[in-house]
Structure 1
Amino acid sequence: MIPAAAKLLHALREPAAMAGFGDDDWDLVVRQAAAAGLLGRLAALARQAGVDGAIPVPVQRHLTAHRTIAEQQQRAVRWELVHLSKALDELPGPVLLLKGAAYAAADLPPAPGRLFSDIDLMVPKDQLGAAEPALMLGGWHASHHDAYDQRYYRQWMHELPPMVHIRRQTVIDLHHDLLPETARIRTRPDLILAAATPLAAFARFSIPSRPDQVLHSATHLFHEGEWQHGLRDLVDLDALLRAYAAEPGFWDRLLQRAAALNLGRPLYHALRCAERILATPVPADVLARCPAAPSPPVRALMDRLFTAAFATAHHSMRLPLSAPAEFVLYVRSHWLRMPPHLLLPHLLRKSWKRRTEGWFERGRKSSGDGAPIMRPDR
């Protein structure tokens, strides 16, 4: 019998098995998938496996609704790219679409059923000064007005503060690198931009090469400290790897690219977790040859932490170590992102900001009549 915590994982690993799920199984799997943001993806996998007709009708309706939402989101992204093409038409350099926007625009393997909330773009750093005002003229404005937040993004991070369109409320993240300026790992965004593939459907945009798509997804996932969408992002990696592994020489190109971009460690974690959690077929020699692979003690520790963290999407999936693993990986993400002399003041400020915002929310709720309460200075 498959334990409750593994029901969703079983569906993701073997989509055909969904044909044999009973009502109790589906009651649990739907709740787990909804919490992980994977209901649309489950619907797409069931259709690809040819078992969607074997799923109970009430569940079919639920899955179909989420697949329809995902398809609508992707249509909206493509329409947004038309507007962005006009806004960035004068920009001389390449404009890369990253992650969800790239999946939708190029119909990449993770696209079916995929939900996302923003559009990630990447331009050369020396063109940020032209790209940002062009986006502002197109209707996007910065969402962070606090002076500290502005300095945090512009001086230390790999992206500008998120930009929100004044009418459509679409969110743009404008990147110039995959990792922050202060990160312990330094990568080569110039190589990523140079190897990008132009899109026929959207001439203004390009997408990263196939190895770079995998490396960016791995880097994003294993350098972040927020695990709400961790399993969803691992599912993206699984889809990319299963599709691209059939290409002759792909694994060698991926390892060579990881070495060139100094991204061997996040790639190692991505391949190992995808293999262990989603049964992604990764050749044993690929892991053995992965650049910057951790030592056996570090590998054993990270295996336990990541396994526990990927089990946090829903309470029924959580493991005894899930809560401490989330905390340790949150601290790790900041440690990888910033040196100690910047990290400590930053975390203290975030803690104070969260606490004062909590005071504000409690005060607002206790005011009774909805009268405005002055927000503490952030």
Structure 2
Amino acid sequence: MQRDALQHPDLLAQVLTGRCAPPASDAGWLVLLSQARRANLAARLASHLDAAGIAVPPQARWQLDGAVKAQRHVARLMDLELRRVAQALRGDGVEFVLLKGAAYQAAGLPAASARQFGDIDLLVRRADLAAAEAALMGGGWVNLDASAYDQRYYREWMHEIPPLTHIGRGSVIDLHHTIVPPTSVFRVDGGALLANALPVAGRPGLQVLQPEDMVLHSMVHLFTDGEFDNGLRDLLDLWDLVRHFSARDAGFWDRLLVRAGQLGLERPLHHALQHLERLAGPTMPERLRPQVRRLQPPLPVRGMMQWLLGVGLRPQHPACRQTGDGLARWLLYVRSHWLRMPLRLLLPHLLRKAWVQRFPAKASPQAPAA
């Protein structure tokens, strides 16, 4: 692989989607491995290389093997933690649905293979939020954030309560009542998602979203978030999901487009399909392309978003940087807040965050909410 190929900003994505081979030189492997570690995709890279029968240099092999062992250990811990979550909530009769990585793991989906896991995301009805929080607190998960302002910010304006951390094991639960903030440009009824949830075979008490909702949640989470540390990982999750569901069900793509319209998530769907095709090649049936094109924003917005998201979906690694990347990531951060809250809430919130960052000692955690 030539020097200019090593500096391709999407090198890791190209290798993981099979669109190019790994670099041949030692320097190239160093770049590829460091990008994979930065993007939390080292275990996935190892799995891809082994499945493709690609020889790995000895100096890279031990790093990849270590990433695989760490990933498998975390996956085992996730399974244990999901049993404890189900036990805590089942005792109080609270119905819940697993989201994102926890759902992929519980349902045995390809997206869980070689995936690095973080928090456990749960969805409950808003009316059950207090009961679910109390049940989880009884199981050892507590809210460690003492800031009155943050409590109000989460509980009044966000789609989740402040994170709950287990006092002994340190596992973190994000408890949602819907998948986007109620103040967001996108408003999704969490009850409509729960109504179509599916039980996980062999895992009593565990449920996941139906395939279309699972994909749309992954899309809206990725393309409305301001932090893209795991952007490429989440896009590859989407690639795994759509390939898996469409291979099992010929009607999946039609239902996905219909469901996006019902939930008002056509724009995240457009962004997802555009960048999946850019990095991995065609994914949807050709017959649906005219319908998908109608989801596009106007040309100036489309061009701007293609650039911004192209930057956001790369590992934050020196080899991936190009002119203007810092501006693009800042604009993505601003955009995420613009989508999340109206100006009357957003401006005071951002001003307060800036004040706390500038004068942390003056921001008492017990201060009353603004």
**Residue 49 (1) aligns with residue 52 (2):** yes
Quote the offset at 1:16 in angstroms.
7.8
Paired positions, count:
359
Q: Aligned pair in 2 of structure 1 residues 131, 13: CA closer, same or farther (>3 Å)?
A: same
In the alignment, is the contact (CA less than 8 A) between 2:180 and 2:187 conserved in 1?
yes
Quote the offset at 1:172 in angstroms.
0.3
Quote the offset at 1:231 in angstroms.
1.2
Q: What is residue 276 of structure 1 aligned with on the other side?
A: 278
SS class of match (1:164): strand
Q: Aligned pair in 2 of structure 1 residues 288, 92: CA closer, same or farther (>3 Å)?
A: farther
Q: What is residue 63 of structure 1 aligned with on the other side?
A: 64
- Name the CA distance, whole Å, in 1 between partners of 2:183 and 2:251: 34
SS class of match (1:202): coil
AA matched with 1:342: L
Q: What is residue 347 of structure 1 aligned with on the other side?
A: 350
SS class of match (2:142): strand
SS class of match (1:17): coil
Q: CA RMSD in A?
A: 1.8
In the alignment, is the contact (CA less than 8 A) between 1:158 and 1:177 conserved in 2?
yes
Q: What is residue 309 of structure 2 aligned with on the other side?
A: 306
In the alignment, is the contact (CA less than 8 A) between 1:356 and 1:376 conserved in 2?
yes
Q: Aligned pair in 2 of structure 1 residues 313, 279: CA closer, same or farther (>3 Å)?
A: farther
In the alignment, is the contact (CA less than 8 A) between 2:159 and 2:180 conserved in 1?
yes
- Name the CA distance, whole Å, in 2 between partners of 1:264 and 1:93: 31
- Name the CA distance, whole Å, in 2 between partners of 1:90 and 1:26: 50
- Name the CA distance, whole Å, in 1 between partners of 2:288 and 2:127: 36
Q: What is residue 110 of structure 1 aligned with on the other side?
A: 111
- Name the CA distance, whole Å, in 2 between partners of 1:223 and 1:324: 17
Q: What is residue 125 of structure 1 aligned with on the other side?
A: 126
- Name the CA distance, whole Å, in 2 between partners of 1:72 and 1:11: 25
**Residue 322 (1) aligns with residue 325 (2):** yes
Cα offsets for 1:165-212 (capped at 9, x unmatched): 000010000011010011111113222111111012321110111111
AA matched with 1:275: E
In the alignment, is the contact (CA less than 8 A) between 1:305 and 1:321 conserved in 2?
no
- Name the CA distance, whole Å, in 2 between partners of 1:192 and 1:64: 38
Q: Aligned pair in 2 of structure 1 residues 262, 181: CA closer, same or farther (>3 Å)?
A: same
Q: What is residue 29 of structure 2 aligned with on the other side?
A: 26
Q: Once structures 1 and 2 are overlaid, which stretch shifts more, 274-283 or 176-185?
A: 274-283
Q: Aligned pair in 2 of structure 1 residues 156, 272: CA closer, same or farther (>3 Å)?
A: same
Q: Aligned pair in 2 of structure 1 residues 147, 325: CA closer, same or farther (>3 Å)?
A: same
Q: What is residue 13 of structure 2 aligned with on the other side?
A: 9
Q: Aligned pair in 2 of structure 1 residues 280, 356: CA closer, same or farther (>3 Å)?
A: farther
Q: What is residue 289 of structure 1 aligned with on the other side?
A: 291
Quote the offset at 1:256 in angstroms.
0.9
Q: What is residue 369 of structure 1 aligned with on the other side?
A: none
Q: What is residue 261 of structure 1 aligned with on the other side?
A: 263
- Name the CA distance, whole Å, in 1 between partners of 2:53 and 2:19: 9
Q: What is residue 146 of structure 2 aligned with on the other side?
A: 145
Instruction: Considering Cα pairs closer than 8 Å and 6+ residues apart, tell me whether 1 or 2 has the greater RCO.
Output: 2
Cα offsets for 1:19-50 (capped at 9, x unmatched): x6332221110011111111011112223323
Q: Which runs of 5+ in 1 are unaligned?
A: 361-374
In the alignment, is the contact (CA less than 8 A) between 1:91 and 1:127 conserved in 2?
no
AA matched with 1:377: S
In the alignment, is the contact (CA less than 8 A) between 2:90 and 2:205 conserved in 1?
yes
Q: What is residue 72 of structure 1 aligned with on the other side?
A: 73
Q: What is residue 377 of structure 1 aligned with on the other side?
A: 364
- Name the CA distance, whole Å, in 2 between partners of 1:144 and 1:294: 39
Quote the offset at 1:14 in angstroms.
0.7
In the alignment, is the contact (CA less than 8 A) between 2:13 and 2:232 conserved in 1?
no
In the alignment, is the contact (CA less than 8 A) between 2:6 and 2:31 conserved in 1?
no
- Name the CA distance, whole Å, in 2 between partners of 1:207 and 1:269: 24
AA matched with 2:18: E
Q: Aligned pair in 2 of structure 1 residues 151, 46: CA closer, same or farther (>3 Å)?
A: same
